[in-house]
Chain A
Amino acid sequence: MRQFLVFVRKECYHIFRDKRTLLILFGMPVVLIVLFGFAITNEIHQAQIAVLDHSQDAFSHRLINRMTASGHFAVSHYLSSRDAVETAFREGDIKLVLVIPDRFGHDFHHARKAPLQLITDSSDPNTATTLTNYANAIIMQYQEEMGGKTDLPLTITTAVRMEYNPSLKGVFLFVPGVMTLILMLVSAMMTSITITREKELGTMEILLVSPLRPLLIIAGKVLPYIALSFIISLLILAMGYWVFGMPVKGSLVLLLLECLLFGLTALSLGILISTITNSQQTAMMISMMGLLLPTILLSGFVFPLESMPVPLRVLSNIFPAKWFIIILKNIMLKGGGLQQVWLPTLILSGMTVFFLGLSIRNFKTRLS
């Protein structure tokens, strides 16, 4: 046991001596959380649009003013002909073109129906949909303003309540996501690369002939990273709480235990990767190519899992990130306890045991 502790201490020295890595390890989460927390929203402001106004009267000018006053749109081009639309789009920055026909106001008041055309650059379907929705809402308002408001019979009013995140903050989704990404990185990538590094530099052999059992050697290498990933979790949680007002409605103790558990799952994955690779480069590529995109895409971090095709939803189950994000959202935003998150917890524990078992088996065959 004493020997083991000495070994752990030596590993800690190794980590703490490398000031640069430490700086990255602690600086990175801070930068990422701040950057994404503030930068990534789904609300679009000041999208560049072009206007093709054939009418050129007070009505059309007022409509254009309404569009820009909303803050969602900024008119960057006034087009003069239909052909200019194509060019404007091709240059790349225009997202929407508003086409106002001749005699717009006149038609509204006399024919009681005024046509209007919205052309969107739908190469990005989401932005196109969002902008069309904004534009339609503004146009509807303008229509009421032009026509004078009338009280209509049989009106259904709908009260919408947004549970758990009333202001629809994107950051409530991003903090758990970034936290998962970073813990995955620190734990899985770091361990996989540290162990293969010893192999690559040939120092593993030296370690293996030491009186410490191989299992303890691995444990000793991993222990400091558990501590590190835990400290990083604390850092991210603190930032989420104080900077972005992300609540922790459930038990903090449970939340911390779950962070520890996820750290362990990722670490065991890292150990597994290191048992099947011999060079740092391969280990890194496996963790980077194999874990990075799936962790972002298949965890429900960026895209909702529910709208994916069934095979992908099934596939997402094998990525620990998915389960951890469910746990985080449940405990932090909904105030769920263990009875709400027992299943993902059990799955993460199961994965940990499975990865560890597999790596111990691999590790032994490698030695013999």
Chain B
Amino acid sequence: MKLNSGLVQDTNWYQSHTFKIGLIVAITLQLSVLVVEYLGSVWPIWTGTPIILKTQPYDPRSLFRGNFVRLSYEISQVESDNASEYKLGSVVYVSVKEELNHWRFQSISKLKPVTGLFIRGRVRANYGNSLSIEYGIEAFFMPKEKALLAQETLREGALMRIFVSGNGKARAQEFVCQGDAC
């Protein structure tokens, strides 16, 4: 390869088969990323089990991602006697069981449970016997006005419909409530 090629060199390169095939592959890669992202998003909704989790919306933000309310669930903070054994960033499986009108924390495990309904999450912090876990359902995107309204009207707590697929992947679907923000 010549050093610091100018337009003449570029012209030869642009006309080569390597460039044409490479460009088609690169475009296909971009589109594949988008398709995989889409399928990964809708797969739990198509195949998963709907459950209701108690949550609290707070602090709408709009940096990089648009306007959304941040959701903190009951299962976002769980107690475990051996919390220090869970490394930050490690994958955990949280089993949930239905109680009255929503689902609650039952147990936590490093291994995927064989039976029962469980959600896959990652450890973000541990303080003493308490673990902070993220499940990928912590953001709910809404227009700014609705996000602020949700934060104000649902401050005392809200219910969120979540779809959980067989491998524990969860996806937030909608607020379950009667307020103006829903």
Chain B associates with chain A: no
Residues in A lying within 8 Å of B, measured CB to CB: none
Residues in B lying within 8 Å of A, measured CB to CB: none
